[in-house]
Structure 1
Amino acid sequence: MKFKSQDKQNQLIEKITAQHLVVGIDIAQLTHVARAVNFRGIVIGNPLSFSNDEEGFQILHRWIQSLQAAHNFNSAIIGMEPTGHYWLSVSRWLSEKQFEVVLVNPHLVKKNKENRDNTPSKSDKKDALVIADMVKNGYYSFIRKTSEAFEELRVFLSNRDSVFTRLVSAKNQIHRWVDVVFPELRQVFKKLMCRGSLATLRLFPTPEELRNLTPQDVVRGWKSIMQRQPGNKKAQALIALASHSVGSTQATHAYKLHLKQLLAEYDLACEQLQDVETEIIAVLDRIPFVKSMLAVKGISAISLAGILGEAGDLSGFVHGNALLRHAGLNLAEASSGKWTGQMKISKRGRSRLRRFIFMMTLSLTANNPEFKAMHAYNVQVKKMKKMRSLMKLCGKLARILVGMARSSEAYNPHKMMPFRLAA
C-alpha cells in the first residue's frame, strides 16, 4: 500500500466548503483572540477577545452562531495553535459543543504571518487571522482522540521525564561534591553511585571523619545499612586515602548539609521513578496489541510506552509513514533546477515521539537479529552512513508497529526481512 502525503493534503483542502465558517483562535494564558473567514479567505465579522473560562467560551459560542446565522453557514471549523497547555480547555469545551476543532503548526504560523500584509508585524488579532487562513488552505491536522489508557501513558511519560531530569541533576551534583570534598573516593569505588559509595557518603562523607576511624568501624557502619559490604580491604584503602586527601577542608558543615539534601533528592527521585514505571507497566497491560510488541527482542516497555503515549492508538494510522510524519521523521527534499541538496528529516512533529522511535531503533539494531542484519547490510553492502541506515530503519520500525497494531498479528521475522537478506 502506497501512502502519499499529497492525497491527504487534497482531502484537507476539499473538506473546507462554501458552507463552512473558518475560525482561527490565537491562544494565550488569560485572553484568547478569534477571527473568522469564509472558504475563500474573506474576513467575516470583527475580532473577538474572550477570557479563558466558561463565560468567555459562551461569548465565543454566541459569536460563532451569530456569524453563521448572518452569512448562512451551516458548519464551522475552528483552528488553533497547541500553545503549551492553554489550548486544552477551550478545545475540549468546543468539542463537547460538537464543533470541529483542528490544530495548526506554530512553526507554520510564524512562516505565514506575512501573507496578508507583507510585513513582519505580529499581534494577537493578526495571528488569529493567519491561523484561519491556514485552516482554509488545508494546513491543519485533526486532534487525535484516544482512549484513557493512552492519555495516562502520556501523563506518566511526561512525569517520568521530569523525575528523570531531577535524578540526573542530583547525580551530577553528587559527583561535583565528591570532586570538591573527597576526590580520592573514586579510587576506592569505580562507580560513584554504587551502593558502597553511597553508604560511605551517608555515614562518613568527609575525609576528616574517616581519619579517626578504624577499618572495623567503617565495616560496622556499612553493615548497618547494607546486607553485602565492600569488605575490610576497601575500608583500609579508604582510611589511607582520607589521611592524605586534597579535598576542601573549609565550610565542612555547609558541605555536609548540601550532601545530605542531595542524597535525599536522589532517594526521592529513585522512589518516584520506580513508582511511575510501575504505573506505566500496569497501563500497558490494558492495551491489546502491546503484548505482541513487547515479545519482539529489543523493544522495552518504557520505549513502547513513550511511542504510544505520544502517538496514541497506532491502529488509527493508515500507514507507518503517517506515524513518521507525526514524529517529524519524514524526509524533506531541497532541490532547485540542476541543483539537488541533501535529504534531511523534517523535524516537524513531536520531538519526544521522535526520540523514542530513534532510541527503540538503536536498541533493535543492538539486540534484534533481523534489525542487526539489515543495519549491517545497509552499512557494509549498500555503503550507507550509519546514521542514514538508522533513519531508514526508523521507517521500517514505524511500518512494523502500525502494521501490528492494525492487524493484531504477532511479529514475523521472515515477513519483515528483505528476500535477499533472508536468503
Structure 2
Amino acid sequence: MGNGNGLSRGDRNRNARLARLRALVPVNNAIVGIDLADRKQMVVVTDHDSKVLARKIFRCRAWDLGVALDWAGQRATAAGFAGVTVACEPTGHRWRVLGQLAADRGMAFVCVQPSMTSWSRRAEDLTCDKTDEKDAVLIARLTAQLRCYIPEPVDETWGRLRHLGARREQLLVDMVSQIQQLRSLLECVWPAALDTARQPFRSRTWVAAMSVICDRDNGDLTRTRRLGSTRFEHAVRREITRRGGQKPSLRITRNLFTALGDPAGVIAHRRGALERVQLLLGDWAENQRRLTDTETRMINVLNDLRLTDLVTSITGLSGVGAAAILAETGDPTRFATARALVKHAGLAPREKLSGAFTGRTKLTGQGRPSLRLAAWRAVWGAQRANPVYAARYQHLTGRETNKLTPTQTQAAIAATILRHLHAVITTGQRWDPQTATHDTRPPIPVAA
C-alpha cells in the first residue's frame, strides 16, 4: 500500500478502526444508550446529535431488558430511523446479557469505557453530577462520536478459558494470602521454624514436616521431641511419599527437629497459633490441588483451540503462562495489530513531545491490569531460557545512551512476549528466533 498521501501506519490503523465502528453505528441508526444497574435500567433513544428522542426507566433485571430494546426499536422507527445501535458501559456481567439480547434482535452493539463517561461527565456542565439519566445520554453521545469500541465476540471455548483464568488468579491470590498468614503466625509463636530452610514455603520437605508436627502435637512441641529424631524422619518420609514425593531433605528435617526446643516466641499463643497453622496448611494443600486441576483444564482448552504447539514454540514460555495471558486477551485475532494488544495491556510507551521539548517516556498503565500481570509473570521464566529475550535484556540495560533499569527492561520484554504471541497465533507460524530479532537474511547453509 502506497504512502504518497502522507498517511502514517497509525493513521491507516485508526481509519480502519473508525470504519469498523461506523459500520456498527451508521448515520441511519438511532442510538440507544443504557445505564445498567441491578433493578433500575435507564434507557434513552437519541439521534447522532445526542438529541433525546425518547426516555424511559425500566424496573427490571438485565436479562429482562428485551422489552426495553423492543420499545427503543419502535421509538427509533417512529422517528424515521432504519434501526438502532445499542450502547452501554461494560460493568459487571450485565453488559454481556444486554449484548446477547441485542444480537437476538439483530441490533448492533458497542461498549463505552467507564473512564470515557467519567471524563465526559466533568466536561458536560462542570458540575460533575452523576445520575442515571445523564450517564445514559453521555453513553449515547460518545457512541455517536465513535468513542466506543467493539466488545469481544462471544465464543464458548475462549469464554471457558477466560473463566478458568479468573479462577486460577483467585487461587493464586488465596495461596499468597495463606503463605503470608503462615509466616506471620510462625514469626509470632515459633520463629525458629522459618530459619530451618532457605525458602521454607517452596520446600516440600519443610511443608511435610510442619504438617507432621502440627498434626501430632496440637501445639505442644514436646510430644514430637519425645518421638526422637529417627522416628520423626520416618514420619516425614511417609508424609512426603503420601504427597507424591520420593525422599525428604534430611538437612531440613533435622533442622526442624532441633528447632522444636527453641523457646523463642509467644508461648502463651503457641497452641492456638499452631492450630491455625495446621488449618492453613490444609487449605494451602487443597488450593494447590485445585490450582493444578485448573491449569490442566486451561492446557486442555489450548489443545481444543489447537494453539499449544504455537504458543509453546516461544522458548521459555510455558503452556500455563501462555494460557494465563490468553485468558485475559481473548482471541488475539480480534486485535488488528500487535501494538493494539500491547496497548490493551497498558505496556505501550506514552510519549511526551511538543516542539523542541521531549519529556520522559513512561508506560501508559491503562488497559487491563490482569493482562499486564500475566505478561509480567511470564517474563521471569522466558528471560532466563530465551536467548533472544536475554540478549535484549543485556542490550537495554547495558547500552550507553537511554539505559533502562531492570524493571523497565522487564516491562519491555513483557510487551515483546505479547507481540510474539499475537504474531504466532495470527499467522499460524511457530516462533523463530531469527524472525524475532528482525533478521530477514536467509539462514546460512551448513557445510556437509
Q: Which residue is equivalent to 2:426?
A: 406
State the Cα distance separating 1:277 from its structure 2 match: 0.7
Counterpart residue type for residue 170 of structure 1: Q
Determine if the alignment matches structure 1 residue 327 to structure 2 residue 341. Answer: no
Cα 1:420–1:286 shift into 2, 3 Å: closer
For 2:183 and 2:59, the matched residues in 1 are separated by: 51
Q: Which residue is equivalent to 1:268?
A: 286
Q: Which residue is equivalent to 2:4?
A: none
Checking the alignment, whether the CA contact within 8 Å between 1:156 and 1:276 is kept in structure 2 is: yes
Counterpart residue type for residue 240 of structure 2: M
Cα 1:52–1:230 shift into 2, 3 Å: same
Q: Which residue is equivalent to 1:346?
A: 364
Which deviations, in whole Å up to 9, do the C-alpha atoms of 1:321-370 show, x marking residues without a partner? 12123223333334555544323332331112222233334543332112
Cα 1:115–1:274 shift into 2, 3 Å: same
Determine if the alignment matches structure 1 residue 384 to structure 2 residue 392. Answer: no
Q: More deviation in 30-39 or 186-195?
A: 186-195
Cα 1:396–1:195 shift into 2, 3 Å: closer
Q: Structure 2: which 5+ residue stretches go unaligned?
A: 2-8, 242-246
**1:32-111 map, 5 Å:** 32-54=41-63, 56-111=64-119
SS at match of 1:51: coil
Determine if the alignment matches structure 1 residue 216 to structure 2 residue 230. Answer: yes
State the Cα distance separating 1:413 from its structure 2 match: 1.7
Q: Name the TM-score, length of structure 2 as normaliser.
A: 0.85
Cα 1:398–1:230 shift into 2, 3 Å: closer
Cα 1:342–1:44 shift into 2, 3 Å: farther
SS at match of 1:384: coil
- The two structures, once aligned, show a CA RMSD in angstroms of 2.8
Q: Name the TM-score, length of structure 1 as normaliser.
A: 0.89
Counterpart residue type for residue 271 of structure 1: R
Checking the alignment, whether the CA contact within 8 Å between 1:109 and 1:130 is kept in structure 2 is: yes
Counterpart residue type for residue 59 of structure 1: V
Q: Which residue is equivalent to 1:175?
A: 183
Cα 1:265–1:46 shift into 2, 3 Å: same
Cα 1:349–1:200 shift into 2, 3 Å: same
SS at match of 2:87: strand
SS at match of 1:40: coil
Checking the alignment, whether the CA contact within 8 Å between 1:52 and 1:90 is kept in structure 2 is: no
For 1:119 and 1:323, the matched residues in 2 are separated by: 35
Q: How many residues align?
A: 421
State the Cα distance separating 1:129 from its structure 2 match: 0.9
Q: Which residue is equivalent to 1:307?
A: 325
For 1:85 and 1:151, the matched residues in 2 are separated by: 13
Q: Structure 1: which 5+ residue stretches go unaligned?
A: none
For 2:22 and 2:200, the matched residues in 1 are separated by: 61
For 1:283 and 1:305, the matched residues in 2 are separated by: 9
Q: Which residue is equivalent to 1:242?
A: 260
Which deviations, in whole Å up to 9, do the C-alpha atoms of 1:48-92 show, x marking residues without a partner? 3341155x4133123212211221111211111111223222222
Which deviations, in whole Å up to 9, do the C-alpha atoms of 1:106-138 show, x marking residues without a partner? 111111113433321111111111111111011
State the Cα distance separating 1:273 from its structure 2 match: 0.5
State the Cα distance separating 1:256 from its structure 2 match: 3.7
Q: Which residue is equivalent to 1:26?
A: 35
